[in-house]
Structure 1
Amino acid sequence: MTIALVPRFPVDDVQLSALHARAFGGDAVEVRPWAQRLDRHALTWIGAFDGERLVGFVQVCWDGGSHAFLLDTAVEEDQQRHGIGARLVKAAVDEARAAGCAWLHVDFEPHLEHFYLNACGFRATGAGLVQL
């Protein structure tokens, strides 16, 4: 299996919506305007492809200055535990650094602590959250 990482790939809204729904438990038939959102709000995005098949994704949003935010890290279930997620995050870190960002933030649920802190090199920090 050869997985290619492709920054700022041409987004197929149907394909990315389906991957995101499978990863995060959303509506599998709802198509979201990913291409438009990413173009408007993201510093970059990276896809992991097995041939033509999108098997992983991550996006980096930012404040236009020194802070960037990692969002929507997802890898197809049948492709997990092969290092694809860590490669996606490393590529996102590299892209944010190349853009001049000094900080890359990520929020994650407790079951992902090992992935982000150990596999990807983030450090734990305090954070706050309010549901809108």
Structure 2
Amino acid sequence: MDAGGIHIRPLGAADAVPYRALRLESLRNFQFAHGPAYDDALAQSEAWHADRLARPDYTWFGAFDGTLLVGAICLRAKAGSRLRHSASLNSLMVAQSHQRAGIGRLLTAHLIEHARSLGHLRRLTLTLIDGNAPARRLYDAFGFQSFGVEPDAIYHEGGYRAIHHLHLPLVSQVTP
């Protein structure tokens, strides 16, 4: 996918160095948007990041401005024949230099299109930290719906915050 000079392509282990840099920047600058803490992630090696990008249950996409990785998103599959109809949207990140340029929207649209193209997925889920209004607006625009709130799920800046659970049906009607 290519739009506005931004190109989206799958990420793999060979992208570990730019992915690690983007992840650390996002965890440092947008702590409110992520579960992991920056200091914890700082201790994770390039090899750890390469392994994360190569996991068979994760499908990563990166947004590139030329050769610069400026955004990433992950589709995480669920294992087992009874759960394989559902996957989750994880780890949406956009570099601070490219905020408010539509890259998060582009990555989310790409991931949803990819999930639908697989043919077996019935829904996507995601979690969102309470108070992350920009992300909530983005997911609402794609039709994600709330299905629950987990109180005191994450500790952030001296207090506990809830996590909202959202889902997006990928099929138009439910069949048994």
TM over 0.5: yes
Residue 56 of structure 2 is aligned to residue 38 of structure 1: no
User: Relative contact order, CA 8 A, sep 6+: which one is greater?
Assistant: 1
Aligned residue for 2:127, secondary structure, equals coil
Residue 125 of structure 2 is aligned to residue 122 of structure 1: no
- Which of residues 14, 17, 42 is equivalent to 1:14? 17
Q: Going by fraction, where is strand more abundant, 1 or 2?
A: 2
| Structure 2 stretches lacking a partner, 5+ long | 29-37, 155-176
Tell me which amino acid in the other structure corresponds to 1:73: L
Deviation at 1:29, TM superposition (A): 5.4
Are the structure 2 counterparts of residues 37 and 9 from structure 1 closer, same or farther at C-alpha, using a change threshold of 3 Å?
closer
Identity %: 29
The alignment of Structure 1 onto Structure 2 pairs a total of residues equal to: 130
Tell me which amino acid in the other structure corresponds to 2:147: T
Tell me which amino acid in the other structure corresponds to 2:55: R
- Which of residues 75, 85, 92 is equivalent to 1:60? 75
- Residue 92 of structure 1 corresponds to 111
Are the structure 2 counterparts of residues 8 and 18 from structure 1 closer, same or farther at C-alpha, using a change threshold of 3 Å?
closer
TM-score w.r.t. the length of structure 2 is 0.65
Give me the CA root mean square deviation: 2.2
CA distance in 2, matches of 1:45, 1:83: 18
Q: Which one is further off, 67-76 or 41-50?
A: 41-50
Aligned residue for 2:146, secondary structure, equals coil
Q: Is the CA contact (8 Å cut-off) linking 1:46 and 1:59 kept in structure 2?
A: yes
| Structure 1 stretches lacking a partner, 5+ long | none
Q: Which one is further off, 23-32 or 80-89?
A: 23-32
- Residue 127 of structure 2 corresponds to 107
